[in-house]
Amino acid sequence: MITIIMRCFVAVDLAEDLVGNVIRLQEGLKDLNVKLASDFHFTLKFLGEVDVKTVGEVELRLKELADKTKPFDITVEKVGVFPGVVWVGAPELLNLQIEVEDTLGKGDFKPMPHLTIARVKQSKYLAEFIDKHSDVNIGSMRVNKIKLKKSTLTSKGPVYEDLKVFNLEG
């Protein structure tokens, strides 16, 4: 019997009307030896490599969470950096991130909900970009769904696919 393994994570997609603002922000990174992201989402929990049975269990738990969670508004703001990643944040997503973490179990928890805008190996000018844009405000959006996504690594970068979308109903 063949076991199908998928690389999965839980996320909230960036609202379409904010994508242009992120792309404009990325313009300041083009000459800084970075790889710009093109799929914009806030990762709430990275699950890693999981089998189909586990995906089914995750779907059931996320449905229960979505059924009891009300839609809410967030502000996408502030630029920051983790090792290897330039991001913009959304602090109001922290409570949902904690709920996802509690629902699916503890793991590689990053206590700042963030949207990756670039991956960087090293850039001596990155600190200047962060200082210049630390108080950027990308805009506000309504969070009314969470997604279970699959990530397939390719030579051109990851390809993302929605496995299941859960509307917040609470």
pLDDT tens readout for residues 64-92: 999 999 999 999 999 988 888 899 999 99
Q: Using the Cα atoms of residue 102, residue 118, residue 143 and residue 152 in order, give the sign of their dihedral.
A: negative
Amino acid, res. 61: R
At residue 109, the pLDDT reads: 61
Q: If we measure between CA atoms, which residue out of 99, 83, 101 comes closest to residue 9?
A: 101
114 in catalytic set: yes
pLDDT for the residue numbered 121: 80
Domains for the chain: give ranges and CATH numbers.
5-167 (3.90.1140.10)
Positions of E strands within the chain: 5-13, 34-36, 41-51, 72-82, 85-89, 114-120, 137-143, 145-154, 157-167
Q: Give yes or no: 41 in active site.
A: yes
Residue 137: what pLDDT? Answer: 95
Active-site residue, from 9, 11, 86, 114 = 114
Which portions of the chain are predicted below pLDDT 70?
1-2, 106-111, 123
Verdict on whether the full-model pTM lies above 0.95: no
| pLDDT at residue 107, as a whole number | 63
Q: How far apart are CA 14 and CA 113, in angstroms?
A: 12
Q: Which of 12, 37, 41, 150 is flagged as catalytic?
A: 41
Q: Max Cα separation, the chain?
A: 55
The vertex-27 CA angle with 21 and 29, nearest 5°, equals 120
